[in-house]
Chain A
Amino acid sequence: MQVSLFVPCYVDTLYPEAAVAMTRVLERVGLQVDFPAAQTCCGQMHFNTGYQQEALTLARRFVEVFAGGDAVVAPSASCVGMVREFYPYLARQVGDEELVAAVEAVGERTFELSEFLVGQLGVEDVGAYYPHRVTYHPTCHSLRAIRVGDAPLKLLRAVRGIEIVQLPDAETCCGFGGTFAVKNSDTSMAMLSDKVANVLSTKAEACVAADNSCLMHIGGALSRGRTGVRAVHLAEILASTMDDAAEAPADSGGRTEENRGGIDGGWIGRTRDVSGDADGAGGIGHSRSGRVEGADVTP
């Protein structure tokens, strides 16, 4: 099966490790993976803020860019939701029947990573190893827009070494909501405070979710509070294995190594100096030797 990677703009730019991890996982389960380089942004930010003309232009682009391939897979329930739920709405609004058909066709073969693995491929165990205590935040769009159900949890439960702790009030929104976090920053923060308190109450080392947008929000507060708890994308955990740990830095927090590190060593797969970790959160990174750090290193 030929899979086209749909890497949302903010993942490409701010959280490339999640997209790298997704690539690794899809290749590991034997798929042919392609990245259509003409892709930019699905237009969700424009659409959600009310700039529907701009969003419509980007929807038309998306249909062209992802015309080929069997399936389109993204590490974001939110952007998949945009394509599946709201592209048809946009196309209907302007009465463009041809576009309605085109977006519905591309929507039918566009999937979020976990629903693709579990629902389309029937794979739950991707051979991952992640010896850490994590709590899972089901993001609103994974839960209520595209309804991935417990696909992410099925994948997590099959990960070796992992300890999953139930997040209290898990299904409540973290308060991100795109520009909501800026326009209604006080209300957003009130929601975020409750989410963070619930995450901390689990004593987990990492909060995992299927969307970097929510993770950017939750992780931003975890970082600001210097809690030592990280926000980690599901794909990064799935990419992490005992043997193939080389290119899966499992970190979405406010770390520094990747920014200092040159392209040579690459921030991807760069060995972390666990003892010098600014956050003191312990290492979840992986060394090139294939040994998993963190499990046997005492900070």
Chain B
Amino acid sequence: MSRLELPMVPFPDAAKVALEDSQLRRNLGKATSAIRAKRLALTAELPDWEQLREAGRRIKAQTMRNLDSYLLQLEERVTAAGGTVHWAEDGDEANRIVGELVRRTGSSEAIKVKSLTTDEIRLNDALADAGVQAIETDLAELIIQLAGEASSHILVPAIHKNRSEIRELFARTLGETGLSDDPADLTRAARKYLRQKFLSTTVGISGANFAVAETGTVCVVESEGNGRMCITLPRTLITVMGIEKLVPSWQDMEVFLQLLPRSSTGERMNPYTSFWTGVHQVDGPREFHLVLLDNGRSKVLANEVGREALHCIRCSACLNACPVYERTGGHAYGSVYPGPIGAVLTPQLRELARFESLPYASTLCGACFDACPVKINIPELLVHLRGQVVAARSERGGLRSSLDPERLAMRAAARVFASPRLYERAQRVSRVAQLPFVRRGRIESLPGYLRGWSATRDLRAVPKEFFREWWKKRHGDRQ
């Protein structure tokens, strides 16, 4: 499976491929603008939307500050309710734990609720290595699993595929040859396949949208009901949850269950909201395991600015609002977390050096910040990480760093801007230096670093008189 084994091709290069895919551009444009419009309509109808956002932000910030004690409280409550809590420092450890738990049941299959966290640690690949087939049951996840592809959107993993592509895929992989490309028809085919899996598989695996520390309750929010099948039908339920998904109290859910569906799918309420607390003798799974996953999160938590990225409730509103994401799609971000939130989360959870192009994959237009239901200041996080990228490069030192044209230009510009005299001299020099490039008052071709600009845009020539020269002439030397 090539899934998630995407090497981090620098974003600008990865984006190039996506930008040329007219089918992808069309699918993304249609889908993101439709969800955007729904979200705006539904958030506008709540008079206290801004207060809800602020409440969400505060609950998350307060949770992060006291995460250690809330996690212990959660462990205690889950255990008291008959569940078992496991702690995993990284993805490998979590995968080992889950693999061992499944092996003990004797099942060679596990049905899965759509879960980004298990994608993050490549659980399906690890299970496959252990001889267990993980079956995705979310329709879109199933589609990309059958296609052997990676998700390109947090909420709508198959956003890059249209219905005729899906019809062709089902014919090839499920043997459903007589299908039309009518969504109802396609859904029926998937249901036929999945129903049989729901009824025959004894292990279910999920992620978690939230977990309530004071009650030990885990929550999964979904649209199709397939998740609820996985949570209720199997004998054993294993949940892998990032440690940041906690909320302190049951009452906090009031805030998040209003914020999430409106921001995510543009619905007042999501169709299926499942809560469970431990196990019960008469109903549901007889065994419940909660795997608490760190995988870089406590490292992020240590960064006082960067930790805000952990507030994310995975609604994907920032993806749909982002003009960059709308054009490049998710794959260019090289991670399960694409879009603006991915650009600030991935480099922090993993290594900044490997993902240093991501914080630059934004114009800082601020649409993501406005859309975020918990008010994560993504533009500020982006520039914060850019600062870390530059600082790390500088620390690495060496010839490459000292000859980096951007660095040289930025340093030189800083020296020039530090002195009005040097600045004015540079202005005058620019008037002369531009001469080889000016044609009829415009510059159509620039060298080196600036070629990216002039490939498609003119630049106006430097004028005869700068503002400060005009001012000086007008006011004499009174300045």
Contacts and interface: CB of A to CB of B under 8 A. Distances in A.
Interface of A: 7, 9, 11-16, 19-20, 23, 35-41, 43, 45-52, 54, 57-58, 61, 86, 89, 93, 140-141, 143-145, 171-173, 175-192, 216-217, 219-221, 223-224, 252-263, 266-268, 278
Contacts of A46: 410, 413-414
Contact of A192 (B386, B410, B450, B456): B456
A46 B456 CA distance: 24
Contacts of B465: 16, 263, 266-268
A43 B410 CA distance: 10
Contacts of A268: 465, 470
Interface in B436-451: 438, 440-442, 444, 449-450
B195 interface: no
B387 A14 contact: no
Contacts of A93: 305
B332 to A, nearest CB: 9
Interface in B323-375: 323-324, 327-328, 359-367, 369-370
B441 A256 contact: yes
Do most interface residues of chain A lie in helix, strand or loop, or is the interface mixed? helix
Contacts of A189: 455-456
B390 interface: yes
B367 to A, nearest CB: 7
A37 B420 contact: yes
A284 to B, nearest CB: 16
B463 A182 contact: no
Interface of B: 11-12, 15-16, 19, 305, 323-324, 327-328, 359-367, 369-370, 380, 383, 386-391, 406, 410-411, 413-414, 416-420, 423, 427, 430, 438, 440-442, 444, 449-450, 452-453, 455-468, 470-472, 475, 479
Nearest to A226: B458
A7 B383 contact: no
Contacts, number: 229
Given A7-B467, A37-B479, A224 B453 contact: no
Contacts of B430: 13
A37 B472 contact: yes
Contacts of A7: 467-468
Nearest to B420: A38
A85 to B, nearest CB: 8
A38 B367 CA distance: 35
B414 A51 contact: yes
10 contacts: A35-B479, A46-B413, A48-B364, A50-B386, A144-B369, A173-B367, A191-B323, A219-B458, A259-B464, A262-B464
Contacts of A143: 366
B456 A221 contact: yes
Contacts of B453: 181-182, 185, 220
A50 B406 CA distance: 11
A268 B472 CA distance: 14
B125 to A, nearest CB: 30
Contacts of A144: 365-367, 369-370
Nearest to A195: B323
